[in-house]
């Protein structure tokens, strides 16, 4: 097969590869084949499922084996013939794919381990235990696994329906929050290196994407940019993890009740500051230092005085295998992320300057002078660099590094540090400076994510919290930080056990149901050992830290005395000054060295004074005790400076004579004084606005005040010492537990696959240890034996009322009777004292039965309602028939009637009869069809001239002429509305439409004038047709006739091939191209289809070979025009389906004035007959033969029978959430934003339909159909719920769907009226210009007046040199321009574009109209 290589794409599945291989190799196609993957790791062959994509697995191979993979390299595929009696099949049948561990027959540690192992090697790293997710870290990015289409795939899907995925947990949490209106929390737990940081990034990515579908704003961009920034400054490479979080964080996303993201808050916990100055040899410092040194440009290297990593004491290490190019790319991504969260270029420079200063601070050295034993600090070049980077005086810097202040009573003495203490002070200064910088970054990210309306409005919000705390650690050397980290994990495990085991089982026991209690790990003893008041390790540490004479030995002795009999505590037998604690994950040895110093490490007052003396105000913010007060002072200082600059500028201008007054500001002329006062007032408003922002800044400070350890300043004169680090940490942890206890939790257990950080390697022993430590076996047993659904008796009966007999009460007997009638297995439910407990499967069966019962009731109601309605219609027709029969029996024959009234009714019988006959028997010329849009526009111009002529008459118009004038003016709107449609319509159809309009406007009092008006219009129309025919005979046919057509917004473009709708997409988490399969790194730009979520590089757009999967189904259809997808019925030539265009046009010409046009229904028999004709041959139908209500009924039927509604199932919830926005402008914008995501065929058809409904609503006075009435009728047709199983869901959404369609019709109606007003203004301007041209030419013969407009001789192929008057040319060009602008506006009448686009167009029209109005006669024209 080597000579028959096949080229595969990222979309090819195993089934596709097997088919291609069978054809290429000429194998027997009647046999069945399997595709297997082989790797040299020795774990055997892996069978690929039919839907798996082989290229994804190839990308996980070493780079040298990806392009060509011979067997000698150990990475290749096998095509194996499937045999029914082979041992392989028996093995596969044994190896069932368990998505949920609860489906295991026997639950043991070994069985769970084996399932996780098999799934891991099949690249299925996620597994459920009911609603708990277990995620195994593969130590490598899995291609395509987190692409946007996976967010869409798991959206609104029940948990367990699809393969386990972290996006499923995010979606369920999001939907649960919206459904129950309760805050949610997702807790991620696991050891260090288990992938918690990546999991939290995926959750935030999915949750913001779900909110973005409701309504996109800039806030999502800020939230997504915060993650990479915090990772760069707070994560580092450790022996267990290449991207270990060295701080804990709780990200709370706040939502409106509609699901639109409102804001976010990030709370951080206990940054590991000691890593900055010391760590194990195999570990690294924080990422940001390496990014800066590898990616900085030459200018930045000079500006920040950067050196090589090995030149810094704080960065020296044994080995570092990271490529410099990779680190440089990360630096660029960091820049982009900082811009996303709002950091200006100057702010980034300040941050990088401080980072460089911290690195240089580590290079400061000390020595004692040989003579005076004075402490000397150096080297001099390092001090100079530090002075420049921090913008402080060198003398003050040296003083802060060498001298300290000692308090004696009410005075203090300055003394120098010892040589050993000085190095610790230097390191402490570096740690405090970095901690302050990190606090400032978190503070300002929170300020950027805060919604300032929360400070002014009282809007109820919901939230989803994502907890990503540091994982359990047992390092070679464990210190104070590891003790805090492991204490946090003990608290989280206790919370998890309480929620999963104790609370649930206590409910079973209290209800008295049969239940066998399942025990779990109880770690309360370890928690008491560490956190108990007065006797806990942290309290003992605090007391020892406040004693000046205390040492590490005395602290260890105190711990021994207090806890020597505690089973969770023991002194280390092998390590001096160390103790051991029995944690849930095993024993951990802690070295007590530096516990006291780390617990009381605060920023020294000498350092505070040094930084406050800096010329760089940014450093003042880092050490400010009140950021809001400093912010207000900065505003005031800036205001004084600005006013001083203004005053100096005014004096400078006065001195140079720029103003008429040369003395002082009060003598400036009034208009300049007003301008200056206005500018000053606006500036004061700006100041006021920023002062309001200081309130929001203070609000953010209060939210994160619990862990601002860097702001704890040791003040020698204060009697009360600042709180210790452990005290602050315990307070922060308590606040966190209070927050998550108020929310409903979801749990994700992250598992480390191996300790060597090897890619796709499964260490069974390590995984088994984690399974035992976290109690997964007990969790699975509880989830398997427990009941996923529970209701109180009252809740159960209320929810399933229709399944109970009438008058049933909420009693156990009634509920038991229901279960017996449904023949439920008694082991699947239990009835307690006050609650009903059900298994998941039975609960779903109950819901399905309930939905079926509801549908049966609805069908019965519909059947009775229709029967009553048909009988009512029958009785009305019967009564009408009887009345007609009576009248025929008693009405005399016309020749028996007296004729004295005939003369009174008919003033001129001869003329009236002849004209009426002529109106009914139209000329044959009216059979002519309009096929050229130019002819339609010329007819509009011709009728406009007739209207202008009548309006210019001095003599009073007759009643006939008045009706003719009004009807023709309104009929011109009908013609203009056809500009964008451009139908093939006969003049006789226009005559019918005109006749209906005249008949409506005349009313019952002027019916005698109808025939006269129609005859007059026909004579006008005859004249135009004859002139048009003559023109066509005289003018030669143009081969390349230009057509002014409306450019559809949803046309296909090179950037949107095969019906995809691509837009630029900034990647926030690593993804892979769906076309070429290569990686798309974070912060890179890609192209994403907003419908099917296909993502690819820009260069891959031309390689796309598959249609948009959600646009058009190419399946064979049984229907021709009804019940098929819209895209099947459309093309470039017909952007709207023919049947729809035919029906809508007929209604617009014949039914706009019919009362209840879409409210009433037509004859069912005639509807079936017309439906059959339209289905087979719509071109042959004669719609005039059917009542108008039959035709309107077919319009609604066509919409209802679409397999995917016009506004699509995929966008249903998005449109509904858009209607829930509080402000009307936001609601309109969100609806139009979602309309832009419709497929082209749906978009164009919806645009045509809404324009039709606008025209119907315009005649509300006659047809009684308002925008709200039309929305009630059409909302169920164009916006249907995708969930057809739950009938109540659609009923609940009726008000929202109606509001959505009504908003759309009303907004388009408003835009329609604005555009028509602008067209009227343009016509008025055109008339003025034509009159000026008439006046100019009244005594000359240079042109021919045709259709109310002089046509230049140049237009009749006369050389342009004849025209010598530039004024005429200007007027003619002006008239042409106005005409073109009118056509463009008329063609854009149906547009469904965003408001800003319409405003720009209307503004241009308004400006042109205004300019035309004020067009004054050129010089000499009046003469």
Name the CA dihedral angle for 1124, 1128, 1132, 1138, rounded to a multiple of 10 degrees. -40
Q: What distance in Å separates the CA atoms of residue 799 and residue 803, rounded to the nearest whole number?
A: 9
SS (H, E, C) 823-848: CCCHHHEEECCCEEEECHHHHHHHHH
Determine which helix (DSSP H) or strand (DSSP E) holds 267, and give its type and residue range: strand 261-269
Q: Is the dihedral of CA 313, 317, 323, 326 positive or negative?
A: negative
Helix (H, G, I), strand (E, B) or coil at 264: strand
Determine which helix (DSSP H) or strand (DSSP E) holds 236, and give its type and residue range: strand 235-236
- The residue count of the chain comes to 1423
Q: What distance in Å separates the CA atoms of residue 967 and residue 1048, rounded to the nearest whole number?
A: 31
Beta strands in 679-797 (DSSP E): 744-752, 789-792
Residues whose CB is less than 8 angstroms from the CB of residue 1099 and which lie 6 or more positions away in sequence, other chains included: none
Residue 996's nearest CA partner among 1147, 1215, 817, 1183 is 1147
Q: What distance in Å separates the CA atoms of residue 12 and residue 1077, rounded to the nearest whole number?
A: 11
Residue 155's nearest CA partner among 218, 207, 202 is 207
DSSP string, 516-581: --------HHHHHHHH-TTTSHHHHHHHHHT-TT--HHHHHHHHHHHHTT-TTEEE-SSSTTEEEE
Token pair for 897: 């009637």
Q: Are 463 and 257 within 8 A, CB to CB? A: no
Residue 190 labelled as part of a binding site: yes
Q: Which residues make beta-bridge pairs with 35? A: 79
Helix (H, G, I), strand (E, B) or coil at 1043: coil
Q: What distance in Å separates the CA atoms of residue 136 and residue 304, rounded to the nearest whole number?
A: 41
Phi-psi region of 1255 (alpha: psi -120 to 50; beta: other; left: phi over 0): alpha
Residue 1162 labelled as part of a binding site: no
Residue 911's nearest CA partner among 968, 966, 960 is 960
Q: Are 514 and 505 within 8 A, CB to CB? A: no
- Crossing angle (nearest 10°) for helices 1294-1337 and 1267-1278: 120
Residue 193 labelled as part of a binding site: yes
Instruction: Give, as one character, the DSSP assignment of residue 245.
Output: E
Helix (H, G, I), strand (E, B) or coil at 1252: helix
Q: Are 696 and 455 within 8 A, CB to CB? A: yes
Q: What distance in Å separates the CA atoms of residue 1305 and residue 1265, rounded to the nearest whole number?
A: 12
Residue 195 labelled as part of a binding site: yes
Residue 1046's nearest CA partner among 1235, 1251, 1237 is 1251
Residues whose CB is less than 8 angstroms from the CB of residue 184 and which lie 6 or more positions away in sequence, other chains included: 173, 174, 176, 177, 462, 463, 464, 465, 743, 744, 745, 746
Residue 191 labelled as part of a binding site: yes
Tracing tokens 């089934």 back to the chain, one arrives at 15
Residue 197 labelled as part of a binding site: yes
Q: Which residues make beta-bridge pairs with 47? A: 36
Residue 44 labelled as part of a binding site: no
CA distances from 1259 to 452, 994, 1002, 1150, 1273 (A): 44, 15, 15, 13, 17
Peptide bond preceding 722: is omega within 30 degrees of 0, i.e. cis? no
Token pair for 476: 């070679």
Annotated binding site for ATP: 190-197
Annotated binding site: 190-197
């Amino acid at each position: 097969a080597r000579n028959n290589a096949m080229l595969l794409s990222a979309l090819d599945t195993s089934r596709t590869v097997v088919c291609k291989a069978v054809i290429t190799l000429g194998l027997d196609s009647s046999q069945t084949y399997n595709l297997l993957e082989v790797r040299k790791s020795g774990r055997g062959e892996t069978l690929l499922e039919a839907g798996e994509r082989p290229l994804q697995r190839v990308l996980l191979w070493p780079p040298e084996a990806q392009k060509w993979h011979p067997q000698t390299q150990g990475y290749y595929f096998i095509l194996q013939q499937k045999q029914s009696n082979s041992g392989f099949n028996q093995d596969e049948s044994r190896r069932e794919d368990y998505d949920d561990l609860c489906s295991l027959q026997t639950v043991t540690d070994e069985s769970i381990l084996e399932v996780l192992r098999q799934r891991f090697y099949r690249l299925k790293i996620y597994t459920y235990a009911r609603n708990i997710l277990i995620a195994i870290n593969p130590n490598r990015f899995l291609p395509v696994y987190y692409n946007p289409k996976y967010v869409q795939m798991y959206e609104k899907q029940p948990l367990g329906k699809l393969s386990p995925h972290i996006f499923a947990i995010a979606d369920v949490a999001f939907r649960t929050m919206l459904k129950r209106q309760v805050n949610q929390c997702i807790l991620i737990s696991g050891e260090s290196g288990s992938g918690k940081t990546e999991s939290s990034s995926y959750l935030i990515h999915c949750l913001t994407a779900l909110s973005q579908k409701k309504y996109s704003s800039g806030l999502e961009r800020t939230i997504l940019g915060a993650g990479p920034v915090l990772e760069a400054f707070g994560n580092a490479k450790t022996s267990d993890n290449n991207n270990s979080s060295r701080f804990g964080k709780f990200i709370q996303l706040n939502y409106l009740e509609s699901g639109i993201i409102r804001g976010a808050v990030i709370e951080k916990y206990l940054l590991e500051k000691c890593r900055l100055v010391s760590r194990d040899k195999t570990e690294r410092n924080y990422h940001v230092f390496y990014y800066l040194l590898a990616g900085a440009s030459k200018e930045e290297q000079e500006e920040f005085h950067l050196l090589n990593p090995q030149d810094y004491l704080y960065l020296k290490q044994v080995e570092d295998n990271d490529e410099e190019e990779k680190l440089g790319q990360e630096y660029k991504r960091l820049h982009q992320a900082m811009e996303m969260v709002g950091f200006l270029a100057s702010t980034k420079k300040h941050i990088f300057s401080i980072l460089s200063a911290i690195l240089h601070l580590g290079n400061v050295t000390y020595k004692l002078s040989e003579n005076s034993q004075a402490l000397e600090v150096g080297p001099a070049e390092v001090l100079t660099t530090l002075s420049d980077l921090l913008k402080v005086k060198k003398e003050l810097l040296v003083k802060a590094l060498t001298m300290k202040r000692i308090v004696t009573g009410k005075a203090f003495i300055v003394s120098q540090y010892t040589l050993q203490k000085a190095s610790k002070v230097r390191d402490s200064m570096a740690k405090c400076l970095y901690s302050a910088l990190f606090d400032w970054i978190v503070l300002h990210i929170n300020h950027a994510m805060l919604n300032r309306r929360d400070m002014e409005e009282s809007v109820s919000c919901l939230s989803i919290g994502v907890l990503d705390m540091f994982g359990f650690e047992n390092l070679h050397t464990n210190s104070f930080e590891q003790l805090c980290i492991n204490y946090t994990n003990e608290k989280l495990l206790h919370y998890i056990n309480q929620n999963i085991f104790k609370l649930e089982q206590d409910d079973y026991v209290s209800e008295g149901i049969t239940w066998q209690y399942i025990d779990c790990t109880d770690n309360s003893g370890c928690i008491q050992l560490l956190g108990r008041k007065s006797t806990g390790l942290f309290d003992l540490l605090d007391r020892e830290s406040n004693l000046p004479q205390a040492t590490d030995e005395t602290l260890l002795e105190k711990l021994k005395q207090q806890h020597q009999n505690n089973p969770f505590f023991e002194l280390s037998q092998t390590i001096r000054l160390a103790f051991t604690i029995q944690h849930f994950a095993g024993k951990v040895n802690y070295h007590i060295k530096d516990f006291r110093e780390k617990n009381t490490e605060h920023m020294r007052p000498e350092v505070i004074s040094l930084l406050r003396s800096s010329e760089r105000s940014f450093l003042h913010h880092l050490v400010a005790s009140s950021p809001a007060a400093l912010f207000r002072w900065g505003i005031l200082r800036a205001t004084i400076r600005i006013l001083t600059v203004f005053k100096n500028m005014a004096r400078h201008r006065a001195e140079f004579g720029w103003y008429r007054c040369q003395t002082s500001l009060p003598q400036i002329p009034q208009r300049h004084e007003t301008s200056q006062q206005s500018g000053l007032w606006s500036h004061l408003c700006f100041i006021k606005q920023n002062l309001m922002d200081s309130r929001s800044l203070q609000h953010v400070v209060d939210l994160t005040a619990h862990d601002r350890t860097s702001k704890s300043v040791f003040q020698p004169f204060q009697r009360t010492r600042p709180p210790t680090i452990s005290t602050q940490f315990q307070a922060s942890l308590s606040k966190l537990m209070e927050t998550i206890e108020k929310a409903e939790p979801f749990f994700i257990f992250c598992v480390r696959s191996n300790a060597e950080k090897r890619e796709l390697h499964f260490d069974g022993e390590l995984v088994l240890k984690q399974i035992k430590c976290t109690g997964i076996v007990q969790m699975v047993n509880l989830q398997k034996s427990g009941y996923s659904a529970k209701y109180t008796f009252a809740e159960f009966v209320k929810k399933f009322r229709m399944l109970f007999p009438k008058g049933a009460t909420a009693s156990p007997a009634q509920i038991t009777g229901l279960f017996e009638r449904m023949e439920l297995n008694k082991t699947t439910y239990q009835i307690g004292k006050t609650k009903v407990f059900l298994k998941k499967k039975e609960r779903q069966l109950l819901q399905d039965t309930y939905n079926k019962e509801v549908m049966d009731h609805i069908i019965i109601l519909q059947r009775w309602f229709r029967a009553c309605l048909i009988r009512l219609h029958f009785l009305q027709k019967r009564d009408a028939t009887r009345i007609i029969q009576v009248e025929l029996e008693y009405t005399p024959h016309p020749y028996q009637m007296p004729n004295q009234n005939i003369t009174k009714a008919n003033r001129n019988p001869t003329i009236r009869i002849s004209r009426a006959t002529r109106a009914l028997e139209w000329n044959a010329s009216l059979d002519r069809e309009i096929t050229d849009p130019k002819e339609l526009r010329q007819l509009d111009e011709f009728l406009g001239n007739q209207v202008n002529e009548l309006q210019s008459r001095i003599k009073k118009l007759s009643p006939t002429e008045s009706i003719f004038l009004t009807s023709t003016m309104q009929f011109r709107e009908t013609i203009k509305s056809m500009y964008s449609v451009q139908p093939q319509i006969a003049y006789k159809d226009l005559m019918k439409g005109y006749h209906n309009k005249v008949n409506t406007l005349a009313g019952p009092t002027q019916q005698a004038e109808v025939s006269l008006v129609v005859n007059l219009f026909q004579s006008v129309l005859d004249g135009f047709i004859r002139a048009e025919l003559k023109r066509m005979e005289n003018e030669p046919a143009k081969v390349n006739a230009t057509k002014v057509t409306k450019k559809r917004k949803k046309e296909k473009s090179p950037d949107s091939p095969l019906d995809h709708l691509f837009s630029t997409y900034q990647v926030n988490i690593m993804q892979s191209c769906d076309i070429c399969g290569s990686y798309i790194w974070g912060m890179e730009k890609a192209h994403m289809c907003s419908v099917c979520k296909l993502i690819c590089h820009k260069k891959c757009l031309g390689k796309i070979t598959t249609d948009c999967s959600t646009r058009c189904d190419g399946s064979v259809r049984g229907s021709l025009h009804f019940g098929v997808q819209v895209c099947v019925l459309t093309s470039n030539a017909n952007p709207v389906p023919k049947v729809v265009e035919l029906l809508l046009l007929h209604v617009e010409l014949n039914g706009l004035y019919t009362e209840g046009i879409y409210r009433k229904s037509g004859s069912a028999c005639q509807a079936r007959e017309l439906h059959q004709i339209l289905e087979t041959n719509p071109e042959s139908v004669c719609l005039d033969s059917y009542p108008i209500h039959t035709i309107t009924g077919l319009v609604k039927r066509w919409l209802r029978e679409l397999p995917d509604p016009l506004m699509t199932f995929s966008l249903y919830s998005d449109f509904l959430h858009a209607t829930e926005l509080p402000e009307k402008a936001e609601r309109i914008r969100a609806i139009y934003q979602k309309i832009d995501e419709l497929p082209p065929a749906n978009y164009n058809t919806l645009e045509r339909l809404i324009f039709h409904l606008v025209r119907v609503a315009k005649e509300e006075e006659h047809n009684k159909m308002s925008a709200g009435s039309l929305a009630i009728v059409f909302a169920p047709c164009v916006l249907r719920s995708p969930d057809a199983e739950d009938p109540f869901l659609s009923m609940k959404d009726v008000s929202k769907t109606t509001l959505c369609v009504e908003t759309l019709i009303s907004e388009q109606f408003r835009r329609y009226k604005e555009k028509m007003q602008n067209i009227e203004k343009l016509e008025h301007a055109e008339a003025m210009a034509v009159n000026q041209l008439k006046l100019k030419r009244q005594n000359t013969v240079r042109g021919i007046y045709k259709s109310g407009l002089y046509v230049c001789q140049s237009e009749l192929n006369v050389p342009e040199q004849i025209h010598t008057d530039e004024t005429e040319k200007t007027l003619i060009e002006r008239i042409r321009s106005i005409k073109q602008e009118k056509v463009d506006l008329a063609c854009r009448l149906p547009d469904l574009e965003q408001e800003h686009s319409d405003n720009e167009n209307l503004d241009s029209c308004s400006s042109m109209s205004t300019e035309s109005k004020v067009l004054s006669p050129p010089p000499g024209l009046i003469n």
